[in-house]
């Protein structure tokens, strides 16, 4: 599972690359991150749109490429994608059909 998160100290946004799930937490009122606000907001809510745009900007600054952002939109990973791509020298990649088996991506 690959996720990326951003926070401003008051809100935390988490984006899951595999599947595209999003989590959004109000850290001031929910410091233990119990209530996922993204699950109760519409996809076009102002707050989710703002945090998605921030994640897009972060990925573009890091020059992650079209695997992560395409035409200003966050991308998702196919279940078998990590076996075809090496994200970095220390990136753990596991076989989606057997989560205990690490992929050979050399």
Burial of 34: CB neighbours in 10 Å, binned 0-12, 13-18, 19+: exposed
Residues 6+ apart with CB under 8 A from 6: 12, 13, 51, 54, 55, 58
Does the model's pTM come out above 0.75?
no
Burial of 62: CB neighbours in 10 Å, binned 0-12, 13-18, 19+: exposed
pLDDT at 24 over 80: yes
Write out pLDDT tens, residues 47-92.
999 999 999 999 999 998 888 899 999 998 765 455 455 555 566 6
Tell me which residue has tokens 């075809």. Answer: 84
């Amino acid at each position: 599972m690959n996720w990326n998160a951003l926070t401003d100290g008051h809100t935390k946004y988490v984006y899951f690359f595999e599947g595209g799930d999003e989590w959004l937490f109000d850290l001031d009122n929910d410091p233990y991150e119990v209530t996922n606000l993204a699950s109760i907001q519409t996809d076009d809510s102002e707050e989710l749109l703002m945090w998605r745009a921030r994640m897009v900007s972060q990925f573009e600054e890091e020059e992650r490429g079209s695997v992560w952002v395409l035409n200003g939109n966050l991308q998702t990973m196919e279940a078998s994608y990590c076996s075809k791509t090496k994200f970095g020298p220390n990136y753990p990649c596991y076989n989606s059909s057997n989560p205990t088996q690490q992929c050979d991506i050399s």
